[in-house]
């Protein structure tokens, strides 16, 4: 089985992100693999434990995004591919889907494509359905577990309203949620292997694409409105009195 895991590099979730001169700034914080995508890598490696499978991590990004791919390799992925091109700045989900679909086709004979449920930067959650649509492959989104048998893939889809069992025939595009299991830590051997790995990079022309049209444009970037809250610590001679005072304050806010 041939599995492609699509990952993205994003600022660390601890980063204090702000806007500076109209650009996104994350200060000194590191760029990391998108936390949800670690679950996608984990899902691919779980398949590999059951089947003879080859897991390729695929990422669109600048040169620095190699580090995110190295993380996937250190976790146990077999191969990594970076799609990098100066024309790929501020692309939208649709453009990303076009590039990923072309790269998946170039990798060839892929049975399963796995995404994390969304990224923590732009958080649109659109790239999975859009890539599936372009490829014309079935989408099994929000998978909390994955079972494959012959060419049939069955997932437990975790939604607000409960769990659904959904199936489709390979090749399929999946997105996974945390129930898939905690992502494994890179092993010492994995880290060594990853540090030596030569990660090929493909440009747009390698994929036979021109710069994809972007349909969603950012017109302005803003820091969030500052919340000027002065916390009022409720005091009292005993906890009962504090509880009563707080209850009155909450009632006066007219939020109940």
Partner 1 sequence: MKTWVYIDHFKGEAVSASWEAIGVGKTFGSVTALVFGSSVEHLAQAAFEFGADEVLLADNSELADFRAEPYASTLTALVTSASPDLILLPTTFRAREMAGMSAMDLNSGVLIDVTALENNGENIIATRPIYEGKLFEKTTCSGKPQFVALRGRAFPRPSREAGRSGAITKVAAQTQALTSVEGYSAGESGVSINDAGVIVAGGRGVSNNPSLGQDEKATAEKGFALIGELAALLGGAVGASRAAVDAGFIPYSHQVGQTGKVVSPDLYIAAGISGSIQHVVGIRTAKVVVAINKDAEAPIFTVARYGVVGDLFTFLPLLTTALKKILDK
Q: Please list every residue from 31 through 70 that binds partner 1, using CB under 8 A.
A: 35-36
Task: Rule CB under 8 A: say whether 160 interacts with partner 1.
Answer: yes
213, burial (CB in 10 Å: exposed 0-12, middle 13-18, buried 19+): exposed
Task: State the minimum distance, in angstroms, from the CB of residue 206 to partner 1.
Answer: 23
Closest to 201 (Cα-Cα) out of 85, 95, 115, 100 = 85
**Shortest reach from residue 21's CB to partner 1, in Å:** 14
As measured in angstroms, the least distance from the Cβ of 58 to partner 1 is 19
Q: Among residues 46 and 122, whose Cβ is nearest to partner 1? A: 122
Q: Contacts with partner 1: how many residues (CB under 8 A)?
A: 79
Q: Which of residues 163-192 bind partner 1 (CB under 8 A)?
A: 163-168, 177-179
Least distance to partner 1, CB of residue 90, Å = 11
Piece of 43-51, 57-65, 120-128, 196-204 that binds partner 1 (CB under 8 A): 120-128
Q: Which residue has 């949800």 as its token pair? A: 36
Q: How far apart are CA 151 and CA 142, in angstroms?
A: 20
* Residue found under tokens 């679950």: 39
Q: For the chain, how many residues are written?
A: 256
In terms of Cβ atoms closer than 10 Å to its own Cβ (0-12, 13-18, 19+), residue 208 is exposed
Q: What is the dihedral of CA 207, 210, 215, 220, to 10 degrees?
A: 100
Give residues 77-106 in contact with partner 1 (rule: CB under 8 A).
Answer: 92-94, 97
Contact yes or no for 119/153 (Cβ under 8 A): no
Q: Find the binding residues for partner 1 in span 214-233 (CB under 8 A).
A: 215-224, 227, 229, 231-233
20 touches partner 1 (CB under 8 A)? no
């Amino acid at each position: 089985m041939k599995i492609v895991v699509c990952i993205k590099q994003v600022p660390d979730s601890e980063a204090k992100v702000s806007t500076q001169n109209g650009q996104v700034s994350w200060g000194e914080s590191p760029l990391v693999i998108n936390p949800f995508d670690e679950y996608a890598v984990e899902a691919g490696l779980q398949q590999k434990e059951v089947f003879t499978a080859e897991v390729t991590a695929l990422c669109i990004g600048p040169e620095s995004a190699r580090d995110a791919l190295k993380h996937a390799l250190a976790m146990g992925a077999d191969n990594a591919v970076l799609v990098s091109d100066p024309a790929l700045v501020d692309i939208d989900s649709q453009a990303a889907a076009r590039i990923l679909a072309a790269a998946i086709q170039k990798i060839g004979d892929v049975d399963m494509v796995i995404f994390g449920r969304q990224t923590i930067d732009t958080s649109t959650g659109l790239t999975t359905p859009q890539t599936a649509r372009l490829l014309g492959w079935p989408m099994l989104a929000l998978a909390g577990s994955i079972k494959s048998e012959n060419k049939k893939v069955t997932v437990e889809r975790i939604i607000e309203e409960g769990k659904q069992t959904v199936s489709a025939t390979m090749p399929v595009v999946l997105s996974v949620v945390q129930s898939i299991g905690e992502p494994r830590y890179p092993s010492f051997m994995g880290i060594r292997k990853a540090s030596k790995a030569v990660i090929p990079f493909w440009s747009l022309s390698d994929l036979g694409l021109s710069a994809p049209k972007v349909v969603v444009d950012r017109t302005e970037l803003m820091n969030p409105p500052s919340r000027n809250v002065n916390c009022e610590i409720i005091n009292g001679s005993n906890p009962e009195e504090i509880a009563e005072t707080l209850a009155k304050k909450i009632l006066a806010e007219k939020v109940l």
